[in-house]
Structure 1
Amino acid sequence: MLDGKAIKPLYEQLKEKIESEIAEGKYKPGDRLLSEVELAEKYDVSVITVRKATNDLSKIGLLEKRQGKGTFVASRKYNKDLNQVLSFSEACKLIGAVPGAKVLASELVEPNKNVLEQMELPDNSKTVYISRLRLVNDEPMVIEDNYFSLKYSFLLEEDLNKKSLFEILSQKSGTQVVRSRRTIEICRATAFQASQLNVKRNSPLLLVQGVVYGLDNEIVYLGIQIINGERYKLHV
């Protein structure tokens, strides 16, 4: 029970109580809290006090209010700094997460004209196409489609479910990724993307597309990432 005689306001006490219960695992990401009325009755405070406490926790990203559904413990967001040229695996390790991958496609393809133009390749050129579902702590987070010139055909023989792409490029060809140029926009999940990322069809997703360069301004690959924006925070 909260202490009505304490100097600390009741809404602050309630905030700390909810934060403590989340930290202790009594509430887990995605769990729905009691309604405002139920919380008010449980802690013998007003609905206004409950609302102020939960609004404050929503502002700092600990709770998430969904119109007509209630208040939920927010899922953790993972961070990626687009100003740094890091592999997905390296970015995960920096935030203490475990990277994972599932190969969706690994083949030679003749991509569309837009891809070829960005890669500065002639019309009708074939490229090495690698598509992977990237996981963070076993949660599907990103669909990653990469196009490489035929110079990198050796990638088709690699086990990309377990190995870091950047490490393979360095070890097999001495390629060092040094910079990239990217664009970011919103897209809607197709049926396939929704099934892979565990979201609803037409859900808003982040589309990050860019060309990645090695030393001497060589184009290493064109990358297209479809990201679950509800679980991922990009820094630009």
Structure 2
Amino acid sequence: MVSINRESNLPLYKQVKKLIYEDIRKHMEEGDVLPVESKLEKIYHVSRITIRKAIDELASEGIVEKVQGKGTFVRSRKIIQEASSITSWTEEMKQKGKKTETTQLNIFEVFPSKKLAKKLQLTSGEKIIGIERLRVVDGEPIAIMYNYLREKFIPGFLENGLTKESLYEELEENYNILLEEANEQIRARIAVDAEASKLQIPPDSAVLHITRTSFLPDGTPFEMVELVSRSDKYEYHIKVTGRNKNKVY
């Protein structure tokens, strides 16, 4: 049952856009063709102009692609990252059959900000290693990633650099560091100009900003990660279990 609310302050084309997107998300795959405009008019009981505005917005967001003379096709679905265990970004993408690459790699030594020093419980004068990367999937820039690592646990890292695509694989094999648990925070915000330029998205686009603090087996904080990802190409799924019921005495 199509639900268009003509009393709503939300424009009709925005409502239609949302309904078409939900239909794509639930029932369609990459390469599927959308119904023609005349059929969409009948489905949603709106004008041809409203349908076209809705489709144009979906196209501008990269969800569909209009091909002259052939129709409107579903583009690649969003990349979904499952937050149920500590895995590297590279491992996660490879499990999904995605071709990944890293560009604009920058590794540096720095004194931490007060925020980082507090998050990582650093001692006075302790330095950290910063890693900045642009992560590309199937030829498209998807995320900007910043990793901040406690230097004293990874001697020689600054000189040796990152020799593997996966940072966590590098830490495990070359430094015997296995991360036991992590705390994450996720929020939506507007991209700053530099981020929009790197991610090749319009200025003032929405992005997901994910922050993770990772811990060694003894509970020592070792790493802080900041991931800024395109919201039109990236979803973050969190698996939760049933809540514990406390006994009442």
TM-score by length of 1: 0.70
8 Å contact from structure 2 (residues 187, 210) kept in 1: yes
SS at match of 1:91: helix
Aligned to 1:48: 42
Equivalent position of 1:143 in the other structure: 144
Equivalenced residues, count: 192
1:5-63, Cα deviation, whole Å (9 max, x unpaired) = xxxxxxxxxx9xxx69925xxx6xxxxx7972xxx3xxxx68304x48xxxxxxxxxxx
Write the distance in 2 (CA, Å) between the matches of 1:21 and 1:139.
16
Give the 5 Å matches for 1:1-236: 22-23=31-32, 36=37, 40=38, 47-49=41-43, 51=44, 65-66=55-56, 72=65, 73-151=74-152, 152-160=154-162, 162-236=164-238
CA distance in 1 between partners of 2:231 and 2:123 (Å): 34
Task: Provide the C-alpha distance between the structure 2 equivalents of 1:179 and 1:121, rounded to a whole number of angstroms.
Answer: 18
Unaligned runs of 5+ in 2: 1-23, 46-53, 66-73, 239-249
Report the TM-score, using the length of structure 2 for normalisation: 0.67
Residue 210 of structure 1, CA deviation: 1.6
Please state whether the residue corresponding to 1:215 is helix, strand or coil: coil
The percentage of aligned residue pairs carrying the same residue is 24
Instruction: Name the CA shift for 1:20/1:234 in 2 (closer, same or farther; >3 Å).
Output: closer
Partner of 2:5: none
8 Å Cα contact 1:100/1:162 also seen in 2: no
Distance in 2 (alpha carbons) for counterparts of 1:144 and 1:85: 16
- Secondary structure of the structure 1 residue equivalent to 2:92: helix
Specify every segment of 5 or more residues in structure 1 that has no aligned partner in the other structure, as ranges. Answer: 1-14, 28-32, 53-63
Would you say the 8 A contact 1:134–1:141 is kept in 2? yes
Q: Give the CA RMSD over aligned residues.
A: 2.9
C-alpha spacing 1:84/1:21, structure 2 compared with 1 (3 Å): closer
